[in-house]
Amino acid sequence: MEIPLLTLILVILYLVILGFLSYQGYRGTKTAADYMVAGRKIHPFVMAMSYGATFISTSAIVGFGGAAALFGMGLLWLTFLNIFVGIFIAFIFLGGRTRAMGHHLNAHTFPEFLGKRFDSKFIQIFSGLVILLFMPLYTGVVCMGAAKVIEVNLGAPYPVALFFFCGIVALYVTMGGLKGVMYTDALQGSIMFVGMVLLLFLTYSKLGGIVSGHTRLTELAPEAVKIFGKAGHQGWTQMPVFGTTFWWILVSSIIMGVGIGVLAQPQLVVRYMTVRSTRELNRAILMGGIFILAMTGVAFVVGALSNVIFFEDTGKISFLAANKAVDNIIPLYITNYMPTWLGSVIVVTLLAAAMSTVSSQFHAMGTAAGRDIYEACSGTPTGDKKSIIATRVGIILTLVLSFSLAYILPIKFEKAGIAIIARGTAIFFGLCASAFLPMYVGALYTRAITKAGAIAGSMTGFLVSAFWLLFIHQKESEALQLCQKLFGKPSLVTHLVDGKYAAIITGKIVWPEVDPLFVAFPLAIIVTIVVSLVTKRYASAHLDNCFHGIER
Amino acid sequence: MIAGVMILGLHPSIALVYLLCIAATILCVVYGAINWNKGERAPDEDDQKWVADEDKLEEEL
């Protein structure tokens, strides 16, 4: 396959500009924190693009866009949650309080924030461990998304594409890419915005307009029913039948897991602390809403519409045209059906989307290793030589783990037709929601949560999620094989029917498809409240200190 | 041939969420515009200390 020259030129140009901006930031004082007190004026556009670039990654565009090609426009419920919950609710109700409390307690990471609020080293170390051990899964699928784009667009074998991307990331990280330099993030966000708007415009144009495109997709419904009808698919412009396998995957894992989990994402929570005041949060809501619509809204609409274009060209729906590799659908669609120049712009768009998120993830994992685990355990101050080594070791180990997962996951799961990127993201988001969200919201809004309540709730959320992934949720339990080895079946909620293990179904509940979040999150809330009611409350002095400057 | 009521070429349940996405974006725009200049305040002692420590952490990275 011929490598598009324009793509290479744009990728190199992008990397040179990124390198220049990172180097400038490395030498100067252009981090978010510096802007906060230096009194310099920063344009809200720069701030919003920077947020958006951290929020949205190749996971959202390539992974969930591919999932939309499979499940249909029902994924737009996730876009709605991303905008309404992830931006509007989060910035108004969590952002300002997190900033005020975080600054007063002098917390710099999400685990440290929780640890100081609940006066518990255990919470800080436990939260740091959850991030350190499980965020590589999310980072891995983000890297996988970028490598898929390079693989398809540049015609490189997947391992080579992954190696190339990992090389760029490693270089970026060593060049100071973890410093959260505003202008590099803003550059990446701006590229993403322009690329995605162009993608939507050209897709609708190709299909004769908005209504015409939708109508043609609606008319293709019989193809979806023919292939996935038994699992509940009714076409790409309808929700799956309530209570079917497809409905449970779409609603419980993809929409709810990610839509709610975004509220407790460590790398996003720390962003609230880097703003100058509530005014910046208000301004970011305006642009953040538009940005998320242009990212996930476009990816999900284009992903679903790609079925029409693939079908009219090849006689196959997207899923089959991509040989069941769900994560290849968006890169294939862009490469095959968009003008070469747009394909090149989108490659850079997706590289930007991946790198901006990956850098914030390594920031979170590095600080989890150094500050939240090593410093909290040893009492070493920040900047100590050993602490720096712990941070660097943490980053190197999570880099290796993330890249290894990005290499292994497609080999293990691609042929089964699983939306790997979307599922990997949903697992991490769901885990964060169950382990962190009840105590995080409680930390900001109530004085009634006790230390024991916070710990018990968080542990419940984590352990129930882990149990559910290992023994109940069949996609994971089957792959991890522990359930098979211990109990001789792929999931505890399956039974033998005609020599094969089939799902146990209670009414509309298809148990092996129920996401861990659906069980672990409510249980974590209940345990947090119940244990807090019967255990010792904090002294007023501690609570007054935590809520300093925050209205009751 | 499409059966049933369609809005924007979509089944009503999807048309609803399609429009809700746009409505949520408009809500963000309106809220942001109304509160564009609200909430500004000068950095206090907590902010100064936080930034100084944040710089140390960034250097460690």
Residue of B25, B29, B46 best to disrupt the A interface, most CBs of A under 10 A: B25
Joined tokens for residue A527: 């345990």
Q: Label residue A35 exposed, middle or buried (CB < 10 Å: 0-12, 13-18, 19+).
A: buried
pLDDT class of A348 with cuts at 50, 70, 90: confident
Interface residues from chain B to A (CB-CB < 8 Å): 1-2, 6, 8-11, 13-14, 17-18, 20-22, 24-25, 27-29, 31-33, 35-41, 43, 46-51, 53-61
Secondary structure element (H or E) that encloses residue A110, with its range: helix A110-117
Q: What are residue A500's DSSP bridge partners?
A: A497
Residue B31: give the domain boundaries: 7-35
Percent of chain A at pLDDT above 90?
Answer: 62
B56 CB neighbours in chain A (<8 A) are 382-383
Per-residue pLDDT, A5: 80
pLDDT of residue A37: 47
The pLDDT value recorded for residue A279 is 87
Cross-chain CB nearest to B17 (options A76, A212, A276): A76
- Residue contact B61–A367, C-beta within 8 A: yes
Q: Residue A364: what residue type?
A: A
Residue A35 has pLDDT above 60, yes or no: no
Interface residue A177 vs chain B (CB under 8 A): no
Q: What is the pLDDT of residue B3?
A: 60
Chain B residues within 8 A of A79 when measuring between CB atoms? 17, 21
Is B37 in a helix, a strand, or coil? coil
Does residue A482 form part of some domain? no
Does residue B57 lie in a domain region? no
Reported ipTM: 0.91
pLDDT at residue A413, rounded to an integer? 83
Mean pLDDT of the region A474-493: 91
* Sign of the four-CA dihedral B1, B11, B19, A191: negative
For residue A96, give how far its alpha carbon lies from the nearest alpha carbon of chain B (Å). Answer: 10
Residue of A nearest to B33 (CA): A286
Q: DSSP per residue over A463-482, as a string?
A: HHHHHIIIIISHHHHHHH-H
Give domain status of residue B48, yes or no: no
Residues A273-299 have a mean pLDDT of 89
> Does any domain span residue A440?
no
State the total domains in chain B. Answer: 1
Give mean pLDDT, residues A81-90: 94
Phi, psi dihedrals of residue A167, rounded to the nearest 5°: -60, -45
- Residue A534 placed within a domain: no
pLDDT of residue A53: 78
Measured between beta carbons, the chain A residues lying within 8 angstroms of B35 are 279, 282, 285
pLDDT tier, A38 (very low <50, low <70, confident <90, very high otherwise) = very low
> CA A478, A482, A484 angle in degrees (round to 5)?
60
The answer to whether the CB atoms of B58 and A237 lie below 8 A apart is no
Does residue A309 register a pLDDT over 80? Answer: yes
DSSP assignment string, A203-263: HHHHTTSHHHHHHHHHHTHHHHHHHHGGGT---TTSPPPTTSHHHHIIIIIIIIIHHHHGG
- A237-277 tens-digit pLDDT: 999 999 999 999 999 989 998 999 999 999 888 888 888 78
Q: Tell if the CB–CB gap between B43 and A297 is shorter than 8 Å.
A: no
**pLDDT value for A2:** 55
Residue B13 lies in a domain: yes
Question: If you average pLDDT over residues A316-328, what whole number do you get?
Answer: 95
Dihedral class, residue A509 (left if φ above 0, else alpha if ψ from -120 to 50, else beta): beta
Contact A37 B53 (CB under 8 A): no
CB count in 10 Å sphere of residue A29: 11
- Tell whether the model's pLDDT for residue A115 goes beyond 80: yes
Flag if B14 and A73 touch (Cβ within 8 Å): yes
Q: Measured between beta carbons, which residues in chain A are less than 8 angstroms from residue B43?
A: 36-37, 276
Contacts of A138 (CB under 8 A, 6+ apart): A59, A361, A424, A425, A428, A429
Is residue A377 scored above 80 in pLDDT?
yes
- Among A residues 350-379, those touching chain B with beta carbons less than 8 Å apart: 363, 366-367, 370-371
Per-residue pLDDT, A426 = 92
Average per-residue pLDDT for chain A: 89
Residues of chain A with C-beta less than 8 angstroms from the C-beta of B40? 276-279
A491, two tokens = 């999931």
Question: Taking the mean position of all CA atoms in its chain, how far away is CA A449?
Answer: 28
Residue range(s) defining the domain that contains residue A77: 44-421
CB contact under 8 A, A103 and B47: yes
A212 near B9, Cβ under 8 Å?
yes
Structure tokens at A106: 């002098």
Domain count, chain A: 1
Q: What is the CATH number of the domain that holds A244?
A: 1.20.1730.10
Task: Report the pLDDT value the prediction gives residue A39, as an integer from 0 to 100.
Answer: 45
Radius of gyration for the alpha carbons in chain A, expressed in angstroms and rounded:
23
Asked whether the predicted pLDDT for residue A33 surpasses 80, the reply is no
A529/A539 Cα distance (integer angstroms): 18
More confident residue, A69 or B38: A69
Option in A37, A104, A285 nearest B28 (CB): A285
Of B11, B29, B54, the CB nearest to A289: B29
Say what the pLDDT of residue A545 is.
Answer: 94
Cβ–Cβ of A279/B28 closer than 8 Å?
no
Mean pLDDT along residues A176-190: 70
Asked if residue B24 belongs to a domain, the reply is yes
> Is residue A550 within 8 Å of residue A103, measured between CB atoms?
no
Distances in Å between the Cα of A8 and the Cα atoms of A11, A15, A143, A168, A236 are: 5, 11, 19, 14, 35
Any bridge partners for residue A501, and if so which? A496
Residue A531: inside a domain: no
Query: pLDDT class for A41, splitting at 50, 70, 90?
Result: low
Exposure class string for A148-158: b at 16+ Cβ within 10 A, else e: bbbbbbbebeb
A199-213, A364-378, A448-462, A524-538: the lowest-pLDDT one: A364-378
Mean pLDDT, rounded, for B17-32 = 97
Structure tokens of A113? 């924030």
Is A103 an 8 Å CB contact of chain B?
Answer: yes
A67 — alpha (psi -120 to 50), left (phi > 0) or beta?
A: alpha
Pairing verdict, β A494-497 and A509-510: unpaired
In angstroms, rounded to a whole number, what is the distance separating the alpha carbons of residues A285 and A262? Answer: 15
In this predicted structure, the answer to whether residue A436 has a pLDDT above a threshold of 70 is yes
**Is residue A389 less than 8 Å (CB to CB) from chain B?**
no
Q: Return mean pLDDT, chain B.
A: 86
Query: Which chain A residues contact residue B9 at CB under 8 A?
Result: 210-218, 237
Mean pLDDT value across residues A207-225:
96
Contact (Cβ atoms closer than 8 angstroms) between residue A369 and residue A390: yes
Cβ of residue A214 closer than 8 Å to a chain B Cβ:
yes
Banded pLDDT at A435 (limits 50, 70, 90)? very high
Is residue B40, in this structure, part of any structural domain at all? no
pLDDT in tens, B25-44: 999 999 999 998 888 877 78
- As a residue count, chain B comes to 61
Query: What is the pLDDT confidence band of residue A182, given thresholds at 50, 70 and 90?
Result: low
Among the partner-chain residues B14, B47, B53, the one whose CB lies closest to the CB of A76 is: B14
Determine the Cα–Cα distance for residues A161 and A165; give it in Å rounded to an integer.
6
